[in-house]
Chains A and B, each alone.
Chain A
Amino acid sequence: MEPTIGLLLALSFLVSLLALTFLIWAVSSRQMAFNQAQARTIFVAGEEGHADNPGISPNADDDTHHFDPARAGIDAISARPVTILLTTAVLWLVVGSIFGLTASLKLHWPDWLGDEAWLTFGRVRTIHLNIVIYGWSSLGLLGVVFWVAPRMFHTRLRHPHLAEVGALIWNLALLAAVFALATGWTDGEEWLEIPWQIDMLLAVASACFVLPLLRTAAARNVHHIYVTGWYWMAAICWFPVLFVIANLPGLFVGAQQATVNWWFAHNVLGLWLTPLGVGAGYYFIPKIIGKPIYSYSLSLLGFWALALFYSQVGIHHLIGGPVPTWVVTLSIVHSVMMFVPVITVAINQHVTVAQNMWAFKQSIALRFVSLGAICYTLASFQGSIEALRSINTVVHFTQYTVGHAHLGAYTFLSFTLFGAVYHMMPRITGCSWPWPRLIPVHFWLVVIGFTVYFVALSIGGIYQGLAMLDATRPFADSVILLKPYLESRSVGGALMTLGHFVFAAHFAAILLQRRPAAVSSAPMTQPVVAA
């Protein structure tokens, strides 16, 4: 009986790889004829070839900031749901950062704010995690999706009110979840802390976003669906399924529960936030530069390899745990196989930027998005390596993992979102950013803050892991040696939080400011002002 498990695993892995190769070959060979047209679907005629610099010099280029009338009608319809999504996302970012900074400070000031139960570390950290994932990242990226998708598909957004209802329910559910977590009502699993009763509400909200995107895609006026569309449509269908399965109450117990827990925890990143973020990168990088993406065959390979490999990645969190060895090994192999889709995305996105460095210097929105894409590459490489048993032995259960999580969830997703918001908001509101000089301030605050944060935690985490592995040292040593690194993390976190305040204030200003007369002639901004 024993030899068959390894053989079966290796064979089924080989078969699935062959199937993947065949799929990509079939799709790419059939579509070869369209390659030229595909690459151009995101540009309106005449728009390509220009650096698209968001609002910093609003009157520099007529083509970039004045839309085709057909497209203007499109933007007016999506502006309202997108404004709701982005505004609430930015609010959650501010609240989530405050909770994150509080949790960080508590690690080296353990008695600070320790008298109220809802301000204890266990709750503050949990609230931070859930707010930044479900509030900031998810809502913000959904805002990007509903702004870009209609433009990409050359048609108006279908069911915009359904998306608004979804945003409303999602925000109410998240608010309820934060109160539940603050009072100590939790399901008790990392990433699945929100009580399942409230999760059902979130699941309903996430389902509300499926129809608008799919109906818009179905009604598209372009033949080919650009790579961003694949990622987004896949993610928006995957999430409700993942979320509901992982939150079904009472179905999984014991080691199974832990397995489903980590299956979900990695998939909410890999099959929900990552495709949303990668899709955004695939759109904004060529959009801002004005040049197409490097290779469509690579896009195909990247997308399908992500779909195949990512779903099994989460179990590497249970290395050494009481689950069958082959499940863990399968997960490690899939984690390392993630090199394939990551390399393809890296080549596609970075080569395009590297060949157009002038745009990187000129456009701060591109700088955010492109830095986010670079950090996606780095975080993914790091994650694949961390999944190896030899590395995992040292860094698992240390602050190193926290640094890695923020490299992915913060620099990749948040930087992409920052860039997207800087690009989108002038087009949504019809106004340019009121204080353009605040944008580089925001950029450098979060970049320097995160660099301090990441370097401190990565170094401290390795020392912590080595101390914990050494049986001849007492456990307290591994805690004491971390102190300077935790303090540095708080410094970095404070800089990042400050950057978010700058960003949020600027966001509020562009949203609330009276439109300058020069721009008000554009008719498409009317509904936004009403909102």
Chain B
Amino acid sequence: MTDLRPSDDEFEPYEEDRGIPLPVSWIAIALALWGIVMLYHNNRSVMIGRSERSEAAKPQSRDVGAGGAGIFLARCATCHQPNGSGVAGAVPPLASSPFLKAKPEVVVQILLHGIDGPIRVGDDVFDGHMPSFASVLSDDDLAQVANHVRKGWGASQTISAAFVAGQRARFPDRGAWNGGSEIAATLDPTLPPQPAPRPDAGTGIDPAVAGLVQHGSGDAWACASCHGSQGQGRANVPRLAGLPAAYISAQLAAFASGSRRDDTMTVVARALSQNQRETVGNYYAGLRTPSTARPSLDGDLERGEILALQGDWKHGVPACFSCHGPSGFGVAPGFPALAAQHPAYTADQLAAWRGKVHRASPNDVMNMVANSLSDSDRRAVADFLATLPPVPAAHRQEPVHGRSVAR
């Protein structure tokens, strides 16, 4: 530092050997220590993350392991009531139901395929709408819940998971049972007399609608190219099967007018006439498709269940089901089904409500609800809704023929 401008002919600037300046050494040592801690800590954070995940996984399996009572409370008691009394005029009672006392395959088949038709329990006739649990419960879970209801209110014979598996394989492709009479005729003739089944409403699908859905026309791309050949959806493309017809056509109108934002759907919806929107809505409303949704957002399922069933009034969140119907099956025409919806879509939509991208909600209800939900709440409730069975399944309609559309 002393003499940095030597004379031209005598250039001897560095007599002293200039070592590494002390601050540089200190910085290097500090960075090295940080690096060692980081590398060691990385391992710890991986371990902590792993143990958290395994702990989070435990209560679920324990809950299921706790047996049929737990599954019953989570899955059945919303409609059938915790004491199995049902709801007069709406939901058949389980207590002393002849269907529980009948052959074991009766209860298993009802759980597997659901009911969509009139059914007599005791002296009352109900317009039965029970979802299929085939896609959301395992053979073991189904056996446990069947044993729980039968032991509580019917027979004592034990049903095994293997038996459920056998029953599952018996009618692999069928839709819901068309009321009590079909169950009696097919499974157990000893059941008390049942009302006549509803005439089969599943008339053929209009080829024009099928063409629109499967192949599209002009700017209206094939719905199936994103929403799947059965309207099952995937990831953040919503499941359409079983949504109310009026809801679907209202959404198409909202996309066309721009009051609901989505670049793809705006193009498609603008290419559809009002009439086409309605026929597409009807088509999907009548489509019965097993659930393909599974929890995928690492959401807390217990928290999601509380939000869906009871809400969180501390934060001003009403129960989802108070508007969207028991079990999240939706209430036509305004409230879409939530059950079996893909969690990425549900969470995305809740985020969009919060961001005021959507403004179509009556009285801004959904904006207010979504504002009160944190990111983890959105994931929790979306994941929980994905575990629910889809809207009650009717007879499978004639499969829509057409080449599977590449996605």
Q: B41: CB under 8 A from chain A?
A: yes
Residues of chain B contacted by A330 (CB below 8 angstroms): 39
Q: B203: CB under 8 A from chain A?
A: no
In A217-244, the 8 Å CB interface with B consists of none
A336 B46 Cβ-Cβ under 8 A: no
A333 B263 Cβ-Cβ under 8 A: no
Stretch of B23-31, B105-113, B171-179, B335-343 lying at the A interface: B23-31
A326 B27 Cβ-Cβ under 8 A: no
B38 A332 Cβ-Cβ under 8 A: yes
- Given A295-B19, A329-B42, answer yes or no on A48-B24 (Cβ-Cβ < 8 Å): no
In A333-374, the 8 Å CB interface with B consists of 333-334, 336-337, 339-340, 343-344, 347, 355-356
B20 A297 Cβ-Cβ under 8 A: yes
Stretch of A31-39, A200-208, A256-264, A416-424 lying at the B interface: A31-39
Closest chain A residue, CB of each to CB of B262: A474
Residues of chain B contacted by A340 (CB below 8 angstroms): 24, 27-28, 31
Q: A50: CB under 8 A from chain B?
A: yes
Q: B313: CB under 8 A from chain A?
A: no
In A270-297, the 8 Å CB interface with B consists of 291-292, 294-297
- Given A337-B31, A343-B27, A471-B348, answer yes or no on A40-B11 (Cβ-Cβ < 8 Å): yes
A471 B31 Cβ-Cβ under 8 A: no
Stretch of B117-125, B286-294, B352-360 lying at the A interface: B352-360
Q: How many angstroms between the C-alpha atoms of A368 and B37 in the bound complex?
A: 40
B20 A39 Cβ-Cβ under 8 A: no
B32 A292 Cβ-Cβ under 8 A: no
Q: B261: CB under 8 A from chain A?
A: yes
Quick one: which of A10, A297, A332, A344 contacts B36, CB cutoff 8 A? A10
Most buried by A among B18, B261, B375: B18
A297 B18 Cβ-Cβ under 8 A: yes
Q: How many angstroms between the C-alpha atoms of A332 and B35 in the bound complex?
A: 9
Question: 0/1 per residue, B230-256, Cβ < 8 Å to A?
Answer: 000000000000000000000000000
B11 A48 Cβ-Cβ under 8 A: yes
Q: A301: CB under 8 A from chain B?
A: yes
Closest chain A residue, CB of each to CB of B12: A36
Smallest CB separation, A380 vs chain B (Å)? 13
Q: B17: CB under 8 A from chain A?
A: yes
- Identify whether the interface residues of B are mostly helix, strand, loop, or mixed: helix
- Given A340-B31, A470-B355, A473-B355, answer yes or no on A295-B44 (Cβ-Cβ < 8 Å): no
Smallest CB separation, B82 vs chain A (Å)? 36
A36 B31 Cβ-Cβ under 8 A: no
Most buried by A among B32, B39, B46, B50: B39
Q: How many angstroms between the C-alpha atoms of A291 and B11 in the bound complex?
A: 9
Residues of chain A contacted by B17 (CB below 8 angstroms): 32, 35, 296-297
Q: B8: CB under 8 A from chain A?
A: yes
Smallest CB separation, B2 vs chain A (Å)? 12
A6 B42 Cβ-Cβ under 8 A: yes
Quick one: which of A40, A50, A301, A337 contacts B32, CB cutoff 8 A? A337
Q: A444: CB under 8 A from chain B?
A: no
Quick one: which of B14, B37, B263 contacts A476, CB cutoff 8 A? B263
Q: How many angstroms between the C-alpha atoms of A36 and B357 in the bound complex?
A: 70
Q: A522: CB under 8 A from chain B?
A: no
In A467-519, the 8 Å CB interface with B consists of 470-474, 476
A36 B14 Cβ-Cβ under 8 A: yes
- Given A17-B32, A337-B31, answer yes or no on A6-B20 (Cβ-Cβ < 8 Å): no
Smallest CB separation, A169 vs chain B (Å)? 41
Question: 0/1 per residue, A1-22, Cβ < 8 Å to B?
Answer: 0110111011001100100000
Smallest CB separation, A355 vs chain B (Å)? 5
Residues of chain A contacted by B4 (CB below 8 angstroms): 291, 355-356
Question: 0/1 per residue, A423-446, Cβ < 8 Å to B?
Answer: 000000000000000000000000
Residues of chain B contacted by A355 (CB below 8 angstroms): 4
Residues of chain B contacted by A10 (CB below 8 angstroms): 36-37, 39-40
Residues of chain B contacted by A336 (CB below 8 angstroms): 31, 34-35
A9 B39 Cβ-Cβ under 8 A: yes
Q: How many angstroms between the C-alpha atoms of A6 and B15 in the bound complex?
A: 46
Q: How many angstroms between the C-alpha atoms of A333 and B39 in the bound complex?
A: 7
Q: A325: CB under 8 A from chain B?
A: yes
B14 A339 Cβ-Cβ under 8 A: no
A296 B11 Cβ-Cβ under 8 A: no
Chain B contact-residue range equals 35 or more
Q: How many angstroms between the C-alpha atoms of A67 and B47 in the bound complex?
A: 66
Q: How many angstroms between the C-alpha atoms of A298 and B22 in the bound complex?
A: 11
Closest chain A residue, CB of each to CB of B46: A325
- Given A39-B13, A292-B14, A474-B355, answer yes or no on A329-B32 (Cβ-Cβ < 8 Å): no
Q: How many angstroms between the C-alpha atoms of A14 and B46 in the bound complex?
A: 21
A295 B20 Cβ-Cβ under 8 A: yes
B8 A39 Cβ-Cβ under 8 A: no
- Given A2-B46, A474-B355, A476-B263, answer yes or no on A347-B21 (Cβ-Cβ < 8 Å): yes
Closest chain A residue, CB of each to CB of B34: A336
Quick one: which of B14, B19, B41 contacts A6, CB cutoff 8 A? B41
A7 B40 Cβ-Cβ under 8 A: yes
A347 B24 Cβ-Cβ under 8 A: yes
Quick one: which of B11, B43, B263 contacts A3, CB cutoff 8 A? B43
B47 A2 Cβ-Cβ under 8 A: yes
A326 B18 Cβ-Cβ under 8 A: no
Residues of chain A contacted by B218 (CB below 8 angstroms): none
Q: A49: CB under 8 A from chain B?
A: yes
Residues of chain A contacted by B355 (CB below 8 angstroms): 470-474
Q: How many angstroms between the C-alpha atoms of A337 and B41 in the bound complex?
A: 17
Closest chain A residue, CB of each to CB of B37: A10
Residues of chain B contacted by A35 (CB below 8 angstroms): 14, 17
Closest chain B residue, CB of each to CB of A6: B43
B42 A326 Cβ-Cβ under 8 A: yes
Q: How many angstroms between the C-alpha atoms of A301 and B11 in the bound complex?
A: 26
Residues of chain B contacted by A7 (CB below 8 angstroms): 40, 43
Residues of chain B contacted by A14 (CB below 8 angstroms): 32, 36
In A28-67, the 8 Å CB interface with B consists of 28, 32, 35-36, 39-40, 43, 46, 48-50
B40 A9 Cβ-Cβ under 8 A: yes
Smallest CB separation, B364 vs chain A (Å)? 15
- Given A301-B20, A343-B27, A472-B351, answer yes or no on A9-B42 (Cβ-Cβ < 8 Å): yes
Closest chain A residue, CB of each to CB of B41: A6
Q: B199: CB under 8 A from chain A?
A: no
Q: B402: CB under 8 A from chain A?
A: no
Quick one: which of B11, B21, B45, B351 contacts A49, CB cutoff 8 A? B11
Quick one: which of B19, B44, B46 contacts A297, CB cutoff 8 A? B19
Most buried by B among A6, A13, A301: A6
A291 B39 Cβ-Cβ under 8 A: no
A339 B27 Cβ-Cβ under 8 A: yes
Q: How many angstroms between the C-alpha atoms of A239 and B375 in the bound complex?
A: 47
A339 B21 Cβ-Cβ under 8 A: no
Q: How many angstroms between the C-alpha atoms of A344 and B12 in the bound complex?
A: 23
Closest chain A residue, CB of each to CB of B42: A329
Closest chain A residue, CB of each to CB of B8: A49
In B28-73, the 8 Å CB interface with A consists of 28, 31-32, 34-47, 50
Question: 0/1 per residue, A67-101, Cβ < 8 Å to B?
Answer: 00000000000000000000000000000000000
Q: B399: CB under 8 A from chain A?
A: no
- Given A32-B17, A298-B20, A471-B348, answer yes or no on A5-B43 (Cβ-Cβ < 8 Å): yes
Quick one: which of B28, B41, B43, B348 contacts A2, CB cutoff 8 A? B43
For this complex, 24 residue pairs linking A to B, each with C-beta atoms less than 8 Å apart, are A5-B43, A10-B36, A14-B32, A32-B17, A36-B12, A39-B13, A39-B14, A291-B4, A295-B18, A295-B20, A298-B21, A301-B20, A326-B42, A326-B46, A330-B39, A336-B34, A339-B27, A339-B31, A340-B27, A343-B27, A344-B24, A356-B4, A473-B357, A474-B357
Known contacts A2-B50, A339-B31, A472-B357, then 12 further A-B pairs from the complex at CB < 8 Å, ordered by chain A residue: A13-B35, A35-B17, A40-B11, A292-B14, A295-B19, A297-B17, A298-B21, A329-B39, A333-B38, A336-B34, A337-B31, A340-B31
The 8 closest A-B pairs by CB, nearest first: A6-B43, A472-B355, A329-B42, A471-B351, A295-B18, A333-B35, A9-B39, A10-B40
